[in-house]
Structure 1
Amino acid sequence: MPSAASQTSTKRTNPAKVKRAAAHPQRPGQACQAAPGEYIPVVNRAKCEGKGDCVEVCPYDVFDVSTIAPADFQALGFMARLKVRVHGMQTAYTPREDACLACGLCVVACPERAIQLVRAVQP
């Protein structure tokens, strides 16, 4: 079993996905030019299947894929809860969303189209 250190170091190991996402003609965002936290990635849990493409392409380590929280699971409709169960109760979370520079790689890499970049509310 790999150690936690080796798991962290292999978190983003798919340069082909990064290259494909970077070249996508409909890539949203600010080409990594936004200020940190100006945009945040929002995950639609009803669509997310926890495949981890977002983790593999994000250059800012914004995403983690983990077991869906009970409150998030209960907030889903019946069909979405069923889908989440079929896909192993995994979903993407954004614990470091304040590090996002709006490159848009996650949006185009997500096979379920479950991620949107949203401008953060300015105080």
Structure 2
Amino acid sequence: MADNASCKQAPGVIVPRIDRNRCEGKDDCVRVCPYDVFEIGVLPAAERGELSLSGRVKGFFHGYRQAFAVRADQCRACGLCVSACPEHAITLTRAT
């Protein structure tokens, strides 16, 4: 669990955004997140058409496994997920 010193915001102020064209569904973000924000799942077929050509190819070879920020409202902006993601697919942005 991250200590409070590494947390930069209250829950829900900042949320993780995942670049679907970069994410390969490795579970690094799931393992490092102290607030259980992420889960690994399969990108729904209806959303695969929105991927770039390289995103579709990458998705196909990885079974369309992706990280999903299912509890984004629990994010406290510690940044561990951003650092851990080998594809650099995660950014932290202000919630809308």
TM over 0.5: yes
Instruction: Map residues 20-39 of structure 1 onto 2, 5 A cutoff.
Output: 31-39=6-14
Q: Percent identity?
A: 48
Normalized per residue, the structure richer in strand is 2
Instruction: Map residues 8-23 of structure 1 onto 2, 5 A cutoff.
Output: none
* 1:78 to 2:65 alignment: no
**Where does residue 45 of structure 1 map in the other structure?**
20
* 1:59 to 2:57 alignment: no
Q: CA deviation at 1:91?
A: 0.3
**Where does residue 111 of structure 1 map in the other structure?**
86
Which structure has the bigger radius of gyration? 1
User: Aligned pair count?
Assistant: 94
Quickly say closer, same or farther: Cα 1:31–1:71, change in 2 above 3 A: farther
Deviation track 1:46-75 (CA, whole Å, cap 9, x = no partner) reads 000001100000000000011111232111
State the TM-score, normalizing by the size of structure 2: 0.90
State the TM-score, normalizing by the size of structure 1: 0.71
Which structure ranks higher in relative contact order (CA pairs < 8 Å, sequence separation ≥ 6)? 2
Q: Which whole-Å CA distance do the structure 1 matches of 2:79 and 2:87 have between them?
A: 15
> Which stretches in structure 2 are left out of the alignment for 5+ residues?
none
The CA RMSD over aligned residues, in Å, is 1.8
Q: CA deviation at 1:110?
A: 0.2
> Moved runs in structure 1, 4+ residues, more than 6 A?
none
SS across alignment from 1:71: helix
Q: For residue 65 of structure 1, what is the amino acid of its counterpart? A: I
